[in-house]
Structure 1
Amino acid sequence: MGAPVRSKPIQSLTAGRGNSCRPRSGVVSGYVLRLIREQQGCTQEGFAERLQVSADTIAGWESGRRPLTAVPVGQMLATRHRLVQLGATPSLLHTFERALEADVLLAGSLGSEMSVTASALGSMVMQRDLIEILAWPLSGQPPRRIRELPEPVRPRRGPAPGGPELSHSERRGFFANMRRTAEEARGGEQFLLRRQALYLAGLDDQEDTGSWLAHQQRLERPTDWLSNWLNLRSVAMVSARHGDQEHLAHFIDTALADEAGAAANLNYWAYWIGELPLEHSDAFIADSTPPQWSGHKLLAHLADGLSIDHGYVDLNIHSVWSLLQVRPNLLRPGVTTSVLRDRLPMMLDSAGISTRGRRELESIRYAIRLAEA
């Protein structure tokens, strides 16, 4: 094995003009790289030898001091190939790639001179796997793929962070920029940017977050059906996140009551969990033709959300019911159908289910019985 390749020194992350600081980058991808190393049972020194870099480089990558987002493309591809050869799981490699994207978005959203018109947040419709990783250092909630990891082969020595961390001032700066972006993004061309900035701003735990979001969404005056539908959905989801279920119930009873609304709901969910390829606008949501996605991943995702403690349980119930109307073949014997069948009695015995939700659960149970007869 050749001599370790040492990364070139990079400019200090606190260097800048005057008293301003450059935003940190690489904190999420660095932490995921650490998880990959720990899953391999390697020390930083052993991992450095396998990746043909110095131990200091590994330490810098993992801490974000030497951001992985600054690594040249060729070196990053070579590093990824070595990670594959070392046996890194596909799930962790996928998370690593999304973490690099999240770091780029975070760095752009942490800068004090962030341009709203140049923000990358409006360049594509984000899916769950990216949103979860982007939100990780903001909310402290690890993504699903991370929660499912087994314990590392080697126990950690000494105190260690439980996830990628931003300072209090960085978190406040991020949320301030999300609010400014949402307030300044106007017009049809910036609707996606505004919608996604509002979603991220909703992760803020400040006391005024709910009232600020409600005010911003009252200001929205969409002129087309899809923008109005998406705005209604955003209001309902944000309200439910903050404990108000009335808006969500109204959204289900009105915006999902016709064929167009039902199709939009399923298209939205299918895209969110990755059954559709990346899109650069919301237009695909309004496609009322027969869906081009299979629905298997979607049914599994929605079934996992059938819990009385889930904040969007009524929407999950309705979406399962609606999905089975257009994809009854999804109820073939299998793991997901078993999960549905096993959860239905518990859900039906719960006092917190709406009358509509209870009626739809009964319909789902009847459909399962027919499929298994």
Structure 2
Amino acid sequence: MTTGSQTTRTASQGTPNRGRSGIVSGYVFRLIREQLGHTQDTLAELFRVSPDTVAGWETGRRPVTAVPVGQMLLYRHQLLQLGSAPALLLALERAMEADVLLAGALDEEAPADDHPIGAWVMQRDLVEVLSWPLNGVAPTPLRSLPDRPRPRRGPVPRGPVLPAADRRRFFSRMRQAAEQARGAERFLLRRQALYLAGYDDAADTSDWLAHQQRTARPDGWLTTWLNARSAAAVAARQGDRDRMGHFVKAVLADDDPGEAANLNYWAYWIGESAGLQLSDDFIGAANPGPWPGDKLMRHLVHGLTPNHGFFDLNVHTLWALLAARPNLLRPGTPTGKELRHVLPVMLDSRELSALARRELEGIRYAIRLAEA
């Protein structure tokens, strides 16, 4: 098995090709321009810049992240006035943040164990954008964009493209960060570096991740729980549903602290709970936080797809959420109607685990009680 250190030495041989430092924000900026129906020339005229400047933003040759903050705010206001969707502009903000993190990871002169991904607990809207050039999966807000005619010369990528050398360097740096970030004070950096390293499609990724999990030395209940969840999540993303099923059955079910931690984690991950967290401590609260749950319920219901690697976890989390927030089943809500519609379809599936089927039956019974 190739170790992270060996991978780092291989990836860093010779003069590093830094690639472009604004590939994600540039791609999102181009999507915004195209959705508005503008060409590079017409948008450049409105912004009072040269067409070459707009082209540089979109290719990453002149990174959007290098535009002064005040000027970028003015451009944002202009895009809003032109009719750009707020969700797209929020995606642009996250893309700029992702580009900064990518550039930091590719900077081999910066200490790997001091990477900013360990500064705060990341949420889904950022992680989806950050992982876009790594796995080719577009972030949720960009998956339902209406199609517009886009006359272009020659083939174009369907997402931001990270050069192969930079891609290898990024994963090498994430492995290095995870290996060096030992100890309770750097657990967050290690956990999030391992999560991002799990997007690597290299042949030794699964073995390397398994080795990291075996050699982990959790210093308490919460870090043990988070290690188990991270291992199950990475395995599910790589197609191993059994690991996730074991996590749900052995770690979550019938464990009150684990159930509360799972709900707190999910609520923060999708942006239901307010504010940013600088450590994982909030996850270990004895009870679910004061967030309402409507957004989390909508997210979980949309994820009820039996062949999805996170299906068992989605079902169990929805079951636990409705037990903690029974008011979410009040009649008449759009998400409640969608849940009532998909439940029979889910229960007809032959792919359900025994636990998932039992919990879906419990949800159906709870719906009947709410309607009585």
TM-score range, shorter chain: over 0.9
1:75-154 matches, cutoff 5 A: 75-152=71-148, 154=150
Q: CA deviation at 1:148?
A: 1.2
The DSSP-based 3-state class of the residue aligned with 2:292 is: coil
Contact 2:40 2:55 (8 Å CA) reproduced:
yes
Q: Which amino acid aligns with 2:104?
A: G
- Structure-2 residue corresponding to 1:12: none
- Structure-2 residue corresponding to 1:6: none
For these two proteins, the number of residue pairs brought into alignment is: 356
- Structure-1 residue corresponding to 2:11: none
Q: Does 1:294 align with 2:292?
A: yes
Q: Which of these residues, 285, 302, 323, is aligned with residue 325 of structure 1? A: 323
Distance across 2 between alignment mates of 1:175 and 1:138: 9
The DSSP-based 3-state class of the residue aligned with 1:57 is: helix
Q: Which amino acid aligns with 2:54?
A: I
Contact 2:260 2:286 (8 Å CA) reproduced:
yes
- Structure-1 residue corresponding to 2:362: 363
- Structure-1 residue corresponding to 2:336: 337
RMSD: 1.5
Q: Does 1:233 align with 2:229?
A: yes
CA-to-aligned-CA distance 1:174-210 (integer Å, 9 cap, x gap): 1111111111111111100010000000001111111
- Structure-1 residue corresponding to 2:281: 283
Identity %: 60
Structure 1 residues 305-314 or 20-29, which shifts more?
Answer: 20-29
Relative to the length of structure 1, the TM-score reads 0.92
Q: CA deviation at 1:372?
A: 2.5
- Structure-2 residue corresponding to 1:273: 270
Q: Which amino acid aligns with 1:184?
A: Q
Q: CA deviation at 1:225?
A: 1.0
Contact 1:42 1:154 (8 Å CA) reproduced:
no
Q: Does 1:351 align with 2:347?
A: no
Unpaired runs of 5+ residues, structure 2, are 1-13
Q: Does 1:200 align with 2:199?
A: no
CA-to-aligned-CA distance 1:38-92 (integer Å, 9 cap, x gap): 0110010001111221111000000000011111112112211211222211100
Contact 2:105 2:112 (8 Å CA) reproduced:
no
Contact 2:249 2:355 (8 Å CA) reproduced:
no
Q: Which amino acid aligns with 1:334?
A: T
Q: Does 1:161 align with 2:160?
A: no
CA-to-aligned-CA distance 1:123-167 (integer Å, 9 cap, x gap): 111100100000001111111111111112544454222111111
1:239-254 matches, cutoff 5 A: 239-254=235-250
- Structure-2 residue corresponding to 1:55: 51
Q: CA deviation at 1:247?
A: 2.4
> Looking at both structures, which has the greater relative contact order when contacts are Cα pairs under 8 Å and sequence separation is at least 6?
2
Q: Which amino acid aligns with 1:265?
A: N
Distance across 2 between alignment mates of 1:342 and 1:156: 42
Q: Does 1:264 align with 2:242?
A: no
Distance across 1 between alignment mates of 2:183 and 2:205: 23
Contact 1:28 1:99 (8 Å CA) reproduced:
yes
Distance across 2 between alignment mates of 1:23 and 1:285: 37
CA-to-aligned-CA distance 1:259-296 (integer Å, 9 cap, x gap): 11100000000001001221111111011235211100
Q: Which amino acid aligns with 2:266?
A: W
Q: CA deviation at 1:23?
A: 5.0
Q: CA deviation at 1:301?
A: 0.4
Contact 1:240 1:311 (8 Å CA) reproduced:
yes
Q: Which amino acid aligns with 1:370?
A: L
- Structure-2 residue corresponding to 1:190: 186
Q: Which amino acid aligns with 2:351?
A: G
Q: Which amino acid aligns with 2:315?
A: I
Unpaired runs of 5+ residues, structure 1, are 1-17
- Structure-2 residue corresponding to 1:315: 313
CA-to-aligned-CA distance 1:298-321 (integer Å, 9 cap, x gap): 000001111112111011110010
Q: Which amino acid aligns with 1:142?
A: A
Contact 2:17 2:166 (8 Å CA) reproduced:
no
Q: Which amino acid aligns with 1:314?
A: D
CA-to-aligned-CA distance 1:227-259 (integer Å, 9 cap, x gap): 111001011112222233332222212321311
Relative to the length of structure 2, the TM-score reads 0.92
Contact 1:137 1:165 (8 Å CA) reproduced:
yes
Distance across 2 between alignment mates of 1:231 and 1:240: 14
Q: Does 1:215 align with 2:214?
A: no
